[in-house]
A and B are shown apart, each in its own frame.
Chain A
Amino acid sequence: MNAVSRSNAYNFGFLDEYAKKEVRRAILKAIAIPGYQVPYASREMPMGRGFGTGGLQLTLSLIGPNDVLKVIDQGSDDSVNAVNLRRFIEMTCPGVSTTTKTAECTLIQSRHRIPERPLTSKQIIVLQVPYPDPLVVVEPSEDKRKTMHGEADYSRLLVKLYEDIVKFDEITISHRYPTRINDHYVIDPSPIPRWDVPKLHASAALILFGAGREKKIYAVPPHTKAEPLAFSDVPFRVEDFRDEQGRRRACARCGCTDSFLDEFVTDSGIKTYQCSDSDWCNEKMALARQTEGKPA
């Protein structure tokens, strides 16, 4: 086998070929049955479960030497989790190039965000999932949940949302918003903010979800209907970034007013806001410098 790298004695992509085949068969079934959680034999990875082992197994089963990979953690390419995963993939996949630029990559592994820049049909995004089943809050038995999913019976989940409205006048789920795929299965879209949920609908890119600890893989194929659960009189809405005066807050760094913002508290105790997607923010800053005639 020429796939064994001479330099580090790991098989290309760390996983052995049998493990990859298992993941690959599950991926194809997941795409064929949009939103259904396909069980698979999740392998031990050299990092703790809960650190993105599900997403990592998908990435390693997909990746080839021609891929350009981007790894994101909460929108940033430079946080510890993203750096460690990227280094691990660089070490075990010789020939693969990595980038921080959304526009350049072919494969994205992400934790908790979908990039602001719209993805293209040439890209695949893999999301790391801690809890794959949205029904777990209303039904503890997996057997029963599987039947409920099969029958597309989500009445108890809707009751839960209704109870929220009764108590708080709005649906209080901030992330992992239950989303119905192709009018049948409801998925947990991983802890992405509400802001990113509309990006699942009719996406140009294939979206894959991997839950390593829970041993599930599911998918939203391109150009597929994805509807967040809501009621006709209480529609779904994304995060509101307006200040007390009703003005849209801007990123303190690049000034962008149409991206998802993270809130920071400065040393002096003042709240400031910054783009969560670091590549988007850098791109906006480079653009601003260009128009001002400064070197990028």
Chain B
Amino acid sequence: MRTEGIWRADVQQRVFRELVEAFSRPGTIREIGDCIDGAVAQRAVLATLMDGEVTLADPHGQIAPADWPLLQAKPSACEHARYVAANGGRAPDFEPALGTLESPEFGATVLIEVERLGQGEIALELTGPGIDGQRRLHLTGLHPDWLRRRADWVGSFPLGVDLLLSDAHRIVALPRTTQIHRLEGVR
């Protein structure tokens, strides 16, 4: 039996390096389609990061039942999970963990699947660590509530959540330090 690419160690190493680039340079879109062999980006990222040590919440039913045993992650409520997989088209209807002052790394990583990165009706101007000056990000299919809620979640650094947006085969990170300004009427 041939193992699907995303469960292989060499593919996971390449996906991880793309994640490192994405988090180091918020707002830059990283293309991972060529290494994940037709799998959806969010699923490939989960395969790369999950094992039996972490908790994962799936409020929007993003994860196929057959994938859970392979991911090995412990299913958990959104409020406590270290990782949350979500559908960006739906409004966030949960409060993710924000970490504590002593241990801000317990703030969740939220993986949000959107329709399309790189173009669309939502235009964001980003500043912060990892960005030389400012960077612009266009995307389609993110419910406007996400940005409002995120602003509350990351309001008191070092507490907060780190977002990883993805479409079919691209990823872009918005860690808690990134300041997001939504541009109106820009395409």
Q: List residues of A whose CB falls within 8 A of some B CB.
A: 1-3, 11-12, 17-18, 20-22, 24-29, 31-34, 36, 38-39, 61-65, 121, 124, 143, 146-147, 150-151, 182, 184-185, 202, 206, 221-225
Decide if A182 touches B12 in the complex (CB within 8 Å).
no
Bound state CA distance, A201 and B100, in angstroms? Answer: 27
Bound state CA distance, A17 and B50, in angstroms? Answer: 11
Decide if B175 touches A32 in the complex (CB within 8 Å).
yes
With A17-B12, A222-B130 as contacts: A32 and B102 at CB distance below 8 Å: no
**Interface hits, B21-68 → A, CB 8 Å:** 23-25, 48-54
A-B interface pairs (CB < 8 A), number: 113
Residues in B whose Cβ lies below 8 Å from that of A1: 3, 8-9
Best-surrounded residue of A3, A33, A64 (most CB of chain B within 10 A):
A33
Decide if B10 touches A3 in the complex (CB within 8 Å).
yes
With A12-B10, A25-B49, A33-B158 as contacts: A64 and B17 at CB distance below 8 Å: yes
Decide if A32 touches B9 in the complex (CB within 8 Å).
no
**19 A-B pairs with C-beta separation under 8 A:** A1-B3, A3-B8, A17-B12, A18-B51, A24-B16, A31-B24, A32-B177, A36-B104, A36-B158, A39-B105, A64-B17, A146-B102, A150-B101, A150-B158, A182-B129, A184-B158, A221-B25, A222-B24, A223-B132
Bound state CA distance, A206 and B175, in angstroms? Answer: 15
Decide if B105 touches A31 in the complex (CB within 8 Å).
no
Decide if B8 touches A29 in the complex (CB within 8 Å).
no
Decide if A12 touches B9 in the complex (CB within 8 Å).
yes
Best-surrounded residue of B20, B25, B162 (most CB of chain A within 10 A):
B20
Best-surrounded residue of B9, B109, B131 (most CB of chain A within 10 A):
B9
**Interface hits, B92-146 → A, CB 8 Å:** 100-105, 109, 129-132
Decide if A28 touches B109 in the complex (CB within 8 Å).
yes
Bound state CA distance, A21 and B53, in angstroms? Answer: 10
Query: For the complex, is B84 an interface residue (Cβ under 8 Å from A)?
Result: no
Bound state CA distance, A182 and B23, in angstroms? Answer: 15
Decide if B176 touches A31 in the complex (CB within 8 Å).
no
Bound state CA distance, A84 and B25, in angstroms? Answer: 33
Counting contact residues on chain B (CB < 8 A from A), the size range is: 35 or more
Decide if A28 touches B130 in the complex (CB within 8 Å).
no
Given A33-B177, A62-B17, 10 more A-B residue pairs with CB atoms under 8 Å apart are: A27-B20, A28-B19, A28-B23, A34-B177, A38-B105, A184-B157, A206-B20, A206-B24, A221-B129, A221-B130
Decide if B9 touches A31 in the complex (CB within 8 Å).
no
Decide if B9 touches A223 in the complex (CB within 8 Å).
no
Decide if B157 touches A17 in the complex (CB within 8 Å).
no
Bound state CA distance, A206 and B9, in angstroms? Answer: 23
Bound state CA distance, A143 and B104, in angstroms? Answer: 14
Bound state CA distance, A278 and B130, in angstroms? Answer: 30
Residues in B whose Cβ lies below 8 Å from that of A20: 13
Q: How far is the CB of B169 from chain A (nearest CB, A)?
A: 19
Bound state CA distance, A65 and B10, in angstroms? Answer: 9
With A64-B17, A223-B131 as contacts: A31 and B175 at CB distance below 8 Å: yes
Decide if B104 touches A33 in the complex (CB within 8 Å).
yes
Bound state CA distance, A29 and B161, in angstroms? Answer: 10
Query: For the complex, is B182 an interface residue (Cβ under 8 Å from A)?
Result: no
Q: How far is the CB of A280 from chain B (nearest CB, A)?
A: 25
Query: For the complex, is B181 an interface residue (Cβ under 8 Å from A)?
Result: no
Decide if A17 touches B53 in the complex (CB within 8 Å).
no
With A150-B101, A224-B130 as contacts: A32 and B10 at CB distance below 8 Å: no
Decide if A124 touches B105 in the complex (CB within 8 Å).
no
Residues in B whose Cβ lies below 8 Å from that of A27: 20
Residues in B whose Cβ lies below 8 Å from that of A151: 101
Q: How far is the CB of A194 from chain B (nearest CB, A)?
A: 23
Q: How far is the CB of B75 from chain A (nearest CB, A)?
A: 18
Residues in B whose Cβ lies below 8 Å from that of A39: 105
Option from A11, A21, A33, A206 in Cβ contact (under 8 Å) with B49:
A21
- Closest-by-CB residue of B relative to A61 is B16
